[in-house]
Structure 1
């Protein structure tokens, strides 16, 4: 069996490895370290959790032990897709270079430019950065990449997913073509292969596992359920999640719960806290200080459940994670491999559970096709009796609501009928009063009329003037009389 002492590493590096508690390299380490020490380009393909970080940090420390960095011209560069992974790589350098005098700088977002500029101005042997922050420093004229001797791209497939490939190509063009390149990825998409063919020179290809496979140490299972109603799907999924955690009991000492959306990360975290579970969220919208504090709490055990988006799915080395729960089936099948790879690390066993609803079936089928393995289905841990009781409660609530509605409707009808009767009586009384007033007015008008209005029609027709009334001027009557006479 190969040991670290067989890999031709320097005694100081071996001492740091021994103090860290490691004696036997993983397959990717055993394959990549000798080629890297010989100065060859390396293309490492291995599933997550197999020790890729040490595969490049150990040979880099060995080779950089001799030499000195100049101001603003780092000697080596490590590119990482996320802040958390970059911070983790920096911790690995601190662990393995404790007996070697090397300087490093960490360039990530969420940290002041001024503090990073101070480190760069002093000169660093190892520069660990995310692509965006690295280019920000370069464009500000604070950084030169012409002194790069070793360049590392970690989690290259995640770089592709996050849209960093144009930045990676630009950074490659800013570094010397004589550099040594170490390129690591869990999967090899066509775009990743194109980059390796362009920027790597006759690389040593180390592939220790079939592409996109999950560790055999991880027991996988899936709960497939149909929600009672579409508007209850989210709440019922959270109930299934809680039941899964409770069913595992003390065996689930800590776990990472993955959601597809940042908003669901916060909702699930609040829900778990509401039911008395120790949970904290982590996603890209949180500031860097809060994210690092949450990760530190998860590592030291003060946080039991870490609810995360895929920002935490790649490369984070938290060796003692016992469980992974996929609250959502990932829309990209490759993310499933990286998610469950957070457990079952360094030879430990782990469990991974996935909650699947009918709308997730096409994504779930893609996952099984990718890993070339059928994921066992398990029964829904939420008790059937509880669901039936909830349905009964719902029916009773509907009945109660219906009875209340009918009661209100009947009461309303009675009140409406009474109001209608009252209004009818009022209208009848009003009409009676109106008729009485009308009769009185009619009698008064008849008493006040002139006598000719009470004559019959024939009598009125014989009068000299018809229809003109008593107020007719005399000259009009005279003119009529004269005409009649003629």
Structure 2
């Protein structure tokens, strides 16, 4: 099957061919015909399957006829994150170049004035995040009564981010006779309830079992103590034939510190996280796309919607707290039929999190065995006075590691990387001097005890009348 068999217009087929595509993916082949027939649709598809084009392509042809009106978008696409919204906008620009359609991007982190101006001129396609859309709607800057087509993308992610009440409000403001398309990687009960309420006799399409991962991705989990994560990551980046990689962490602070650490070790790394404003995030993403950097350290704000060709590896520096995020993180590689590799670092405290991931995906993730010479800990020796050396046993080393774990601080680790190591013998001598000094001060402060237990000498007798 090719795109010409799906009923798309010649102008659209030409744009698709120019973009370098000839055969539709399974989700595209199944979704495009019912969308062209104006049917409601539920699409369950894992990330990286070409889902975005499955609604962008037919929407362009559906909207080819009609006229724009000020403040009243003809269609609305809701996306959970700015990055995903920007990615959908790029798809419309790429495939709609032969059509007279106007598009507007309504996201946070961008000046509102330009967005309002675009709405006033009239748009055919409005791509928005729920927060910014609700903001403008409440200000009276947008009317939803003329919307003919609604797309709710990444519905399960919307649920995770707490957007479902906003989506219900938005849906209630739209015409009841609209066409609605809902896409999600999973179908939890809340999303099913949303679909039952706002979709009319939808066509149900499922190209993969919910929460399954792409079979083109070779997955591994790596058992590694928290303190060794950076070292193991650097080793894999240097030895596993990495061309481009995205490294995911759970915390924004971890993203910042890890990116700095990689740069200090000579890697071409960048970062993207929620504390960056939108222009900075887009600039960093563009550097990654054009090859100025080949490693992007990211928080989960970037886990969905990043569509960068040729990402060879994904590293979960932290095991994700939410198992759904695992599917979306590793979906940044192995896209468009290409193969990819995904490594998940599992520290002892991640046991429950990795169990939840494996329950969701329906199978055990193979354990990656690091080469023995890379993983065997070197004997830890403590310098002792008078030249004595005592080797720390594995049991003592493990106990010390457990004792240190609750106090672990990434920033402290970062400082340790920069600080020169002190000579252990000199440090021991300094500790002895401090100890001797403390003992001397204690002797001065405490009364002397020479062991005398006899009668009190007469020269010490004091008269009670004195």
Structures share fold, TM-score greater than 0.5: yes
Do 1:244 and 1:381's aligned partners in 2 also have CA atoms closer than 8 Å? no
Bigger helix fraction: 1
CA distance in 2, matches of 1:112, 1:324: 33
Correspondent of 1:246 among 220, 235, 238: 238
* Contact kept in structure 2, 1:255 and 1:324, CA below 8 Å: yes
1:64 aligns with 2:63: yes
**Structure 2 spans left out of the alignment, 5+ residues:** 390-422, 449-458, 460-466
Alignment length (residue pairs)? 411
Contact 1:49 1:315 in 2 (8 A): no
Once the two structures are superposed, the pairs formed by residues 161-310 of structure 1 within 5 Å of their partners are 161-225=160-224, 227=225, 233=226, 235-248=227-240, 251-310=241-300
Query: 1:406 pairs with 432, 449, 452, which one?
Result: 432
CA separation of 1:340 and 1:384: change in aligned 2, threshold 3 A: closer
* 2:12 match: 13
- 1 CA distance for matches of 2:29 and 2:347? 42
1:123 maps onto 2:122 in alignment: yes
Question: 2:150 — aligned with what?
Answer: 151
Per the alignment, residue 463 of structure 2 pairs with: none
- SS of the aligned residue for 2:301 comes to helix
Assess if the C-alpha contact under 8 Å between 2:219 and 2:365 holds in 1: yes
Structure 1 residue runs of 5 or longer lacking an equivalent are 228-232, 424-434, 436-486
How many angstroms does 1:84 deviate by? 0.5
Stretch moving more, 147-156 or 397-406: 397-406
Which stretch shifts more, 98-107 or 310-319?
310-319
CA distance in 2, matches of 1:170, 1:290: 31
Answer whether contact 1:239 1:382 (CA < 8 A) is retained.
no
RMSD: 2.3
d(CA) in 2 for partners of 1:394, 1:104: 69
Going from structure 1 to structure 2, the CA distance change for 1:413 and 1:287 (only over 3 Å counts) comes to: closer
Q: CA deviation at 1:135?
A: 1.1
Matches of 1:74 and 1:319, distance apart in 2: 31
Q: Indicate conservation of the 8 Å contact 2:249/2:299, yes or no.
A: yes
Q: 1:394 to 1:107 in 2, by over 3 A?
A: farther
Scaled by the length of structure 1, what TM-score is found?
0.81
**Alpha-carbon deviation of 1:386?**
7.7
Q: Superposition pairs for residues 109-120 of structure 1, below 5 Å?
A: 109-120=108-119
User: Partner residue of 2:345?
Assistant: 355
Which of the pair has more CA radius of gyration?
1
State the 4+ residue runs in structure 1 displaced beyond 2 angstroms: 379-387, 391-417
Find the aligned partners of 1:288 and 1:86 in 2 and give their Cα distance. 12
